[in-house]
Structures are given as C-alpha cells and as structure tokens.
C-alpha cells in the first residue's frame, strides 16, 4: 500500500469510528478560515498531511490535487505555466488549502466576470459521514457523471464530506491587464458600471470605496481590465472619456500598486475592513442585483459613505452598520 492509500484508509476508519460513537469531527486544513461559519466544535480531523498534486495537464487546463494541498503551492505551480485560478480565491492566511477553498466557496474580486469556485469544479473524491469513499465528476467538462454533485461541495463547509481530491479547471493568465482609478461618487459609479457592462469591454473586477485617508478625501472607483493587449489598450482611453463626461477624473494605475491593492481587496486587508466606524458597528455582506442603486436602508438614512464598499460591478455590498 502506498502512503495515499494508507492515509485514506486512516481517514475512513477515523470517520467511521466517529460515526459509530457519535463523536463530532472538525475538518481542518490550514486553519486560515476557522473564523468563517458556525463556531467550530469536535475533534480535529487534520487534512494538512494529505497534500500534493496528483495530475496536471497544462494543455488540457485541468489540475487534480489532494484536499490538503496548500493553495499558494497550487497557484505557484499554475503561474509557472502561465495559468491561474480565474476566480481568485482569498487565502486569509499563508496556510490556506485547496480543500478549504472549495469547502468555504469564497471568491475574489473577479467573481462577477470570471465566475465562482463552483464553476471551475470538475470532480471530487470525498469521504462521507459513514467513512465511505465517493467519487463525483471527473477531469473533463463533457459527459461527466456527477458533475453537478461536485459543485455542491463549494460552500458546503465540509457538511457533505471530507474532500480527499479536487479536480479544477484552470485558465491562461490574461495577456494584458490595466487598472483605472476613477474619482466618482457612488451612484455615478454604479451607473457607469452598468453601462460598461453592456459594452464589449474586457471588464474583470471593480471596487468602489470612500477613501477618508486620501488628501482630499474622496470617492474612488477602481476598475480592472484583463484580456487581449489590443482590447485592454483600446478600452482604457474609451473608459477614461466616459469618466470625464461625468465630470470625474480617471488615472491608469501603476501595475505593481494596482496588484497590491487588488490583493488587499481579495484578502480583506483594505483599511475599510480593518476599522469599524463605531463601536456598535458590524460588517454586513449583501448580495444584490448589479443594477441596485446606492443603498439607503431603513433607520440608516445617514449611513456615511466611508461605511460602504462595493464589489462585483455593484453585486456585492459591504456595509458597516449596527447589528
């Protein structure tokens, strides 16, 4: 028996014994997302030893890895072949794993344009609550039995089973990228995003935020473009003109600074997330239609601009507000 078979058998026995005795198990990879979901209880089922790449076919745009594989390790491997996870999963720590990425089902700034983690799940091998090994999906998009079942694992937080193996679709890194920083108020930014969404533009991500630390303080819309070189270069002046037509200003950001800012947005380390505006504020995450106007909530008519951040072309609203 090889090491994989030994560890799989160990996990199966552990889960089976826990089921028989009624013992709760807490599935853990790198622990980077322990804060997410309900309070964690039960004996730890450590998946971090079950790591590594099982197969990777760059020409087929498919990779299969074990559930405990570090997410950073996978992204480094893909980058060495000019490929990536297009949905930009947040890490929330250096020890994030692929299994945790799927189990939490969280997505980064490109979600509205590139899709969610579930859209890239081709297949899984999991251990159910009885200690049985089940296989769903495969490594291709076509004629895959159980493909839809695989997608149920995204965001299930381990309630459907322990993820042993995950097969993912990957994509080539875009040939060109640019980020525009636009000085526009919230409603004008939303209107412009809706307009741009109806145009043949290589929109990839957006983020609107009120920056109280800038001098002077202001409202900023950040828009990232990704795609063919010609498409990105043609879109920048066109979109800049659209901003100017609304009496705003638009600047193309330095690529390194833009990359750092988008990473901070993905990892929720922007100043907006770090400090609540008041002691009784809680962070609310609202999923709404992209065409939803600037929000005024009952009892929060005086909600200040710096208490809001908007992603996904208007589809994701973060609000600091009383519980």
Element at 71 (helix H, strand E): helix 71-80
Q: Which of 162, 129, 166 is nearest to 150 (CA)?
A: 166
pLDDT band at 107 (very low <50, low <70, confident <90, very high): very high
Confidence at residue 1, expressed as pLDDT on a 0 to 100 scale: 41
pLDDT in tens, 200-240: 999 999 999 988 666 556 899 999 999 999 999 999 999 99
Confidence at residue 298, expressed as pLDDT on a 0 to 100 scale: 66
Q: Is the pLDDT of residue 299 over 70?
A: no
- DSSP alpha helices (H): ranges in 134-281? 147-151, 186-197, 229-244, 255-266, 271-274
DSSP-derived 3-state class of residue 143: coil
Q: Is the pLDDT of residue 15 over 50?
A: yes
On the 0-12 / 13-18 / 19+ scale of CB atoms within 10 A, 238 is: exposed
Q: Which domains does the chain show, CATH number per domain?
A: 3-172 (3.30.465.10), 176-322 (3.30.70)
What lies within 8 Å, CB to CB, of 79 at 6+ separation is: 173
Q: What is the dihedral of CA 292, 296, 299, 303, to 10 degrees?
A: 130
pLDDT in tens, 58-84: 999 999 999 999 999 999 999 999 999
Output the CA angle 47-48-53, nearest 5 degrees: 100
Helix-helix angle 186-197:229-244, to 10 degrees: 140
User: What is the distance between the alpha carbons of residues 239 and 231, in angstroms, rounded to a whole number?
Assistant: 12
């Amino acid at each position: 028996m090889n090491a994989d078979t030994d560890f799989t058998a160990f996990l199966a026995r552990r889960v089976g014994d826990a089921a028989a005795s009624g013992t709760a198990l807490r599935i853990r990879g790198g622990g980077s997302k322990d804060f997410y979901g309900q309070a964690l209880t039960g004996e730890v089922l450590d998946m971090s030893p079950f790591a590594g790449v099982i197969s990777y076919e760059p020409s087929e745009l498919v990779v299969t890895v074990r559930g405990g594989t570090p997410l950073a390790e996978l992204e480094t491997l893909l980058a060495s072949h000019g490929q990536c996870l297009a949905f930009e999963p947040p890490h929330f720590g250096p020890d994030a794993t692929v299994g945790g990425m799927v189990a939490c089902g969280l997505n980064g700034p490109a979600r509205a344009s590139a899709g969610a983690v579930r859209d890239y799940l081709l297949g899984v091998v999991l251990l159910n609550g009885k200690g049985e090994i089940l296989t769903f999906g495969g490594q291709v998009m076509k004629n895959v039995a159980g493909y839809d079942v695989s997608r149920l694992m995204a965001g299930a937080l381990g309630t459907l089973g322990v993820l042993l193996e995950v097969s993912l679709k990957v994509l080539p890194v875009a040939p060109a990228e640019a980020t525009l920083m636009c000085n526009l108020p919230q409603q004008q930014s939303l209107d412009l995003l809706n307009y741009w969404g109806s145009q043949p533009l290589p929109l990839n991500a957006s983020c609107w935020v009120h920056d109280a630390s800038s001098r002077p303080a202001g409202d900023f819309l950040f828009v990232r473009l990704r795609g063919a070189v010609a498409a990105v270069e043609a879109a920048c002046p066109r979109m800049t003109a659209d901003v100017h037509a609304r009496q705003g200003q638009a600047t193309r950001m330095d690529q390194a600074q833009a990359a750092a800012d988008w990473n901070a947005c993905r990892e929720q380390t922007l100043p907006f997330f770090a400090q609540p505006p008041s002691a009784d504020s809680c962070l609310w995450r609202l999923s709404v239609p992209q065409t939803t106007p600037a929000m005024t909530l009952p009892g929060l008519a005086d909600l200040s601009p710096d208490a809001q951040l908007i992603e996904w072309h208007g589809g994701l609203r973060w609000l600091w507000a009383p519980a």
